[in-house]
Amino acid sequence: MISRLFYFWLSMSHTTAIIVAAGEGRRIGGEVPKTYLPVCGRPMVLRTLDQFFSAQAIEEVVLVIAADEFLRCETMLRDDSELANRRWILQSGGPTRQQSVKKGLEKIGSDTDIVVIHDGARPFVSPALIDRCVQASRDKGAVVVGVPVRDTIKIVSNDRWVQTTLSRSSLWAIQTPQVFRKQWIVEAHDRAAREAFEATDDAMLVERIGKPVFVVDGESTNIKITTPEDVWFAEALLRQKRIP
Protein backbone atom coordinates (compact mmCIF):
# COMPACT_ATOMS: atom_id res chain seq x y z
CA MET A 1 0.00 0.00 0.00
CA ILE A 2 1.29 3.47 -0.89
CA SER A 3 1.45 5.71 2.15
CA ARG A 4 0.01 9.21 2.48
CA LEU A 5 3.58 10.43 2.99
CA PHE A 6 4.43 9.06 -0.45
CA TYR A 7 1.59 10.99 -2.07
CA PHE A 8 2.80 14.15 -0.31
CA TRP A 9 6.30 13.50 -1.63
CA LEU A 10 4.92 12.99 -5.14
CA SER A 11 3.38 16.45 -5.01
CA MET A 12 6.78 17.91 -4.11
CA SER A 13 8.85 16.06 -6.73
CA HIS A 14 8.87 15.26 -10.43
CA THR A 15 9.42 11.76 -11.78
CA THR A 16 10.23 10.97 -15.40
CA ALA A 17 10.42 7.50 -16.91
CA ILE A 18 12.80 6.61 -19.73
CA ILE A 19 11.56 3.59 -21.67
CA VAL A 20 14.20 2.13 -23.97
CA ALA A 21 12.79 0.58 -27.15
CA ALA A 22 15.48 1.34 -29.73
CA GLY A 23 16.81 -2.19 -30.30
CA GLU A 24 16.20 -4.19 -33.46
CA GLY A 25 15.11 -7.33 -31.59
CA ARG A 26 16.79 -9.67 -34.09
CA ARG A 27 16.45 -12.75 -31.89
CA ILE A 28 12.68 -12.62 -32.15
CA GLY A 29 12.74 -12.78 -35.96
CA GLY A 30 10.34 -11.33 -38.53
CA GLU A 31 10.26 -8.02 -40.38
CA VAL A 32 8.43 -6.01 -37.70
CA PRO A 33 10.73 -4.54 -35.02
CA LYS A 34 10.10 -6.13 -31.65
CA THR A 35 8.78 -2.89 -30.16
CA TYR A 36 5.75 -2.99 -32.45
CA LEU A 37 4.95 -6.70 -32.29
CA PRO A 38 1.35 -7.26 -31.20
CA VAL A 39 0.82 -9.07 -27.92
CA CYS A 40 -2.82 -10.21 -27.93
CA GLY A 41 -3.56 -7.54 -30.49
CA ARG A 42 -1.85 -4.53 -28.84
CA PRO A 43 1.70 -3.47 -29.77
CA MET A 44 4.20 -4.34 -27.07
CA VAL A 45 5.40 -0.76 -26.57
CA LEU A 46 1.83 0.45 -26.03
CA ARG A 47 1.31 -2.20 -23.35
CA THR A 48 4.45 -0.96 -21.62
CA LEU A 49 3.24 2.63 -21.77
CA ASP A 50 -0.17 1.55 -20.42
CA GLN A 51 1.50 0.21 -17.28
CA PHE A 52 3.60 3.32 -16.70
CA PHE A 53 0.77 5.77 -17.19
CA SER A 54 -1.29 3.72 -14.72
CA ALA A 55 1.33 4.27 -12.01
CA GLN A 56 0.70 7.10 -9.57
CA ALA A 57 4.34 8.20 -9.56
CA ILE A 58 4.92 8.73 -13.29
CA GLU A 59 4.26 12.17 -14.70
CA GLU A 60 5.88 11.88 -18.12
CA VAL A 61 7.65 9.32 -20.26
CA VAL A 62 10.60 9.67 -22.61
CA LEU A 63 10.34 6.86 -25.15
CA VAL A 64 13.67 6.12 -26.84
CA ILE A 65 13.26 4.47 -30.25
CA ALA A 66 15.28 3.74 -33.38
CA ALA A 67 15.76 6.87 -35.50
CA ASP A 68 14.25 5.26 -38.60
CA GLU A 69 11.09 4.33 -36.68
CA PHE A 70 10.36 7.86 -35.47
CA LEU A 71 7.47 8.62 -37.84
CA ARG A 72 5.84 5.20 -37.42
CA CYS A 73 6.00 5.40 -33.62
CA GLU A 74 4.82 9.01 -33.39
CA THR A 75 1.81 8.24 -35.57
CA MET A 76 0.96 5.15 -33.53
CA LEU A 77 1.14 7.05 -30.22
CA ARG A 78 -0.86 10.04 -31.44
CA ASP A 79 -3.59 7.80 -32.86
CA ASP A 80 -3.96 5.71 -29.70
CA SER A 81 -6.95 6.78 -27.61
CA GLU A 82 -5.50 5.26 -24.43
CA LEU A 83 -2.64 7.78 -24.56
CA ALA A 84 -4.80 10.86 -25.00
CA ASN A 85 -3.63 13.71 -22.74
CA ARG A 86 -0.61 11.69 -21.59
CA ARG A 87 2.81 13.38 -21.43
CA TRP A 88 5.22 11.51 -23.68
CA ILE A 89 8.33 12.58 -25.57
CA LEU A 90 10.09 10.67 -28.35
CA GLN A 91 13.86 10.51 -28.60
CA SER A 92 16.01 8.69 -31.14
CA GLY A 93 18.36 6.12 -29.63
CA GLY A 94 22.02 5.33 -30.02
CA PRO A 95 23.90 2.26 -31.27
CA THR A 96 23.82 0.59 -27.82
CA ARG A 97 21.26 0.42 -25.05
CA GLN A 98 23.53 2.44 -22.75
CA GLN A 99 23.89 5.19 -25.32
CA SER A 100 20.13 5.16 -25.86
CA VAL A 101 19.55 5.71 -22.13
CA LYS A 102 22.02 8.60 -22.17
CA LYS A 103 20.13 10.19 -25.06
CA GLY A 104 16.92 9.72 -23.09
CA LEU A 105 18.48 11.55 -20.15
CA GLU A 106 19.08 14.52 -22.44
CA LYS A 107 15.31 14.90 -22.83
CA ILE A 108 14.29 15.00 -19.16
CA GLY A 109 13.29 18.36 -17.73
CA SER A 110 15.29 20.38 -15.24
CA ASP A 111 12.51 19.91 -12.66
CA THR A 112 12.90 16.10 -12.69
CA ASP A 113 14.16 14.68 -9.37
CA ILE A 114 13.74 10.94 -9.96
CA VAL A 115 14.46 8.99 -13.15
CA VAL A 116 12.90 5.58 -13.82
CA ILE A 117 14.61 3.50 -16.52
CA HIS A 118 12.75 0.55 -18.04
CA ASP A 119 13.04 -1.87 -20.96
CA GLY A 120 10.29 -1.43 -23.52
CA ALA A 121 10.29 -5.20 -23.95
CA ARG A 122 8.99 -5.71 -20.38
CA PRO A 123 5.32 -4.83 -20.97
CA PHE A 124 3.92 -6.53 -17.87
CA VAL A 125 5.58 -4.53 -15.10
CA SER A 126 2.82 -3.64 -12.67
CA PRO A 127 1.98 -0.02 -11.80
CA ALA A 128 2.24 -1.00 -8.11
CA LEU A 129 5.82 -2.19 -8.59
CA ILE A 130 6.73 1.04 -10.37
CA ASP A 131 5.30 3.05 -7.47
CA ARG A 132 7.12 0.92 -4.88
CA CYS A 133 10.42 1.50 -6.65
CA VAL A 134 9.90 5.25 -6.83
CA GLN A 135 8.91 5.33 -3.17
CA ALA A 136 12.02 3.36 -2.17
CA SER A 137 14.26 5.64 -4.22
CA ARG A 138 13.26 8.56 -2.01
CA ASP A 139 15.36 7.14 0.83
CA LYS A 140 17.77 4.83 -0.99
CA GLY A 141 18.77 6.98 -3.94
CA ALA A 142 19.21 4.02 -6.30
CA VAL A 143 16.80 1.10 -6.58
CA VAL A 144 16.60 -1.95 -8.85
CA VAL A 145 14.03 -4.71 -9.17
CA GLY A 146 15.14 -8.30 -8.75
CA VAL A 147 14.08 -11.86 -8.01
CA PRO A 148 16.21 -14.57 -6.33
CA VAL A 149 17.61 -17.01 -8.89
CA ARG A 150 16.08 -20.48 -8.87
CA ASP A 151 18.56 -22.26 -11.12
CA THR A 152 22.04 -23.40 -10.15
CA ILE A 153 24.60 -20.92 -11.51
CA LYS A 154 28.04 -22.11 -12.61
CA ILE A 155 31.04 -20.19 -13.92
CA VAL A 156 32.14 -21.95 -17.11
CA SER A 157 35.35 -21.51 -19.11
CA ASN A 158 35.41 -20.60 -22.80
CA ASP A 159 35.99 -24.26 -23.63
CA ARG A 160 32.92 -25.30 -21.57
CA TRP A 161 34.59 -26.66 -18.41
CA VAL A 162 32.91 -25.79 -15.10
CA GLN A 163 35.18 -23.56 -13.01
CA THR A 164 33.02 -23.16 -9.92
CA THR A 165 29.44 -23.29 -8.68
CA LEU A 166 28.03 -20.20 -7.01
CA SER A 167 25.79 -20.17 -3.96
CA ARG A 168 22.24 -19.21 -4.89
CA SER A 169 21.64 -17.60 -1.50
CA SER A 170 23.10 -14.27 -2.63
CA LEU A 171 22.28 -14.35 -6.35
CA TRP A 172 19.45 -12.26 -7.78
CA ALA A 173 18.23 -11.85 -11.34
CA ILE A 174 17.91 -8.11 -11.90
CA GLN A 175 15.04 -6.71 -13.96
CA THR A 176 13.82 -3.23 -14.73
CA PRO A 177 12.57 -0.71 -13.70
CA GLN A 178 15.67 0.79 -12.17
CA VAL A 179 15.15 4.09 -10.36
CA PHE A 180 17.70 6.76 -9.48
CA ARG A 181 18.12 10.27 -8.23
CA LYS A 182 18.65 12.30 -11.37
CA GLN A 183 22.00 13.69 -10.25
CA TRP A 184 23.38 10.18 -9.66
CA ILE A 185 22.31 8.62 -12.95
CA VAL A 186 23.39 11.63 -15.04
CA GLU A 187 26.80 11.66 -13.34
CA ALA A 188 27.13 7.89 -13.81
CA HIS A 189 26.36 8.03 -17.53
CA ASP A 190 28.60 11.05 -18.10
CA ARG A 191 31.54 9.28 -16.46
CA ALA A 192 30.93 6.08 -18.42
CA ALA A 193 30.85 8.07 -21.68
CA ARG A 194 34.13 9.83 -20.85
CA GLU A 195 35.81 6.53 -20.01
CA ALA A 196 34.21 4.54 -22.87
CA PHE A 197 32.87 2.03 -20.34
CA GLU A 198 29.92 -0.19 -21.31
CA ALA A 199 27.85 -1.81 -18.55
CA THR A 200 25.18 -4.49 -18.60
CA ASP A 201 22.68 -2.26 -16.77
CA ASP A 202 22.34 1.29 -15.48
CA ALA A 203 22.80 0.29 -11.85
CA MET A 204 26.30 -0.92 -12.67
CA LEU A 205 27.19 2.60 -13.77
CA VAL A 206 25.85 4.04 -10.52
CA GLU A 207 27.86 1.46 -8.56
CA ARG A 208 31.00 2.69 -10.39
CA ILE A 209 30.59 6.19 -8.95
CA GLY A 210 30.42 4.75 -5.44
CA LYS A 211 26.68 4.89 -4.79
CA PRO A 212 24.83 2.03 -3.05
CA VAL A 213 22.00 0.27 -4.88
CA PHE A 214 18.99 -1.23 -3.10
CA VAL A 215 17.02 -4.24 -4.42
CA VAL A 216 13.21 -4.27 -4.38
CA ASP A 217 11.35 -7.59 -4.75
CA GLY A 218 10.31 -8.00 -8.37
CA GLU A 219 7.54 -9.96 -10.06
CA SER A 220 7.83 -13.28 -11.89
CA THR A 221 5.48 -11.95 -14.57
CA ASN A 222 7.76 -8.98 -15.31
CA ILE A 223 9.30 -10.92 -18.18
CA LYS A 224 11.49 -9.54 -20.96
CA ILE A 225 10.22 -10.52 -24.39
CA THR A 226 13.17 -11.60 -26.51
CA THR A 227 12.26 -14.76 -28.43
CA PRO A 228 9.11 -16.04 -30.20
CA GLU A 229 8.55 -18.37 -27.24
CA ASP A 230 8.42 -15.32 -24.96
CA VAL A 231 5.58 -13.88 -27.06
CA TRP A 232 3.61 -17.12 -26.75
CA PHE A 233 4.16 -17.14 -23.00
CA ALA A 234 3.17 -13.47 -22.71
CA GLU A 235 -0.07 -14.05 -24.58
CA ALA A 236 -0.82 -17.05 -22.37
CA LEU A 237 -0.37 -14.87 -19.28
CA LEU A 238 -2.81 -12.33 -20.68
CA ARG A 239 -5.40 -14.92 -21.66
CA GLN A 240 -5.22 -16.47 -18.21
CA LYS A 241 -5.40 -13.02 -16.57
CA ARG A 242 -2.15 -13.64 -14.69
CA ILE A 243 -0.83 -10.10 -15.18
CA PRO A 244 -1.03 -8.06 -11.96
Give residue 34's pLDDT.
82
What CATH number is associated with residue 172?
3.90.550.10
pLDDT of 93 above 60: yes
Band the pLDDT of 35: cuts 50, 70, 90: confident
**Distance of CA 50 to CAs 12, 42, 53, 106, 212, Å?**
24, 11, 5, 23, 30
Q: Assess if residue 218 is contained within a domain.
A: yes
Mean of pLDDT over the chain: 92
Per the domain annotation, does 146 fall within a domain? yes
- On whether residue 244 sits in a domain, the answer given is no
CB 119 within 8 A of CB 223: no
In the DSSP assignment, the letter for residue 56 is: S
pTM of the model: 0.92
Whether the predicted pLDDT of 16 surpasses 70: yes
Model pLDDT for residues 109-158, shown as the tens digit of each residue: 999 999 999 999 999 999 999 999 999 999 999 999 999 999 999 999 99
- 121, part of any domain: yes
CA quadruple 115, 120, 121, 125: dihedral sign: positive
**Does residue 138 lie in a domain region?**
yes
Q: What is the pLDDT of residues 41-56, one digit of tens each?
A: 999 999 999 999 999 9
Residue range 197-215: mean pLDDT, rounded? 98
Would 143 be classed as within a structural domain? yes
| pLDDT per position as a tens digit, 146-172 | 999 999 999 999 999 999 999 999 999
Crossing angle of helices 44-54 and 127-140, rounded to 10°: 60
Res. 6 pLDDT band, cuts 50 70 90: low
> Average pLDDT, stretch 76-95?
95
Write down the pLDDT at residue 155. 97
Number of domains present in the structure of the chain: 1
Residue range(s) defining the domain that contains residue 224 = 4-239
Residue 183: Cβ within 10 Å count: 12
3-state secondary structure of 156: strand
Residues near 57 by beta carbon (within 8 Å), at least 6 away in sequence: 10, 15, 114, 116, 130, 131, 134, 135
Kindly state whether residue 67 falls inside one of the protein's structural domains. Answer: yes
Residue 32, pLDDT score: 75
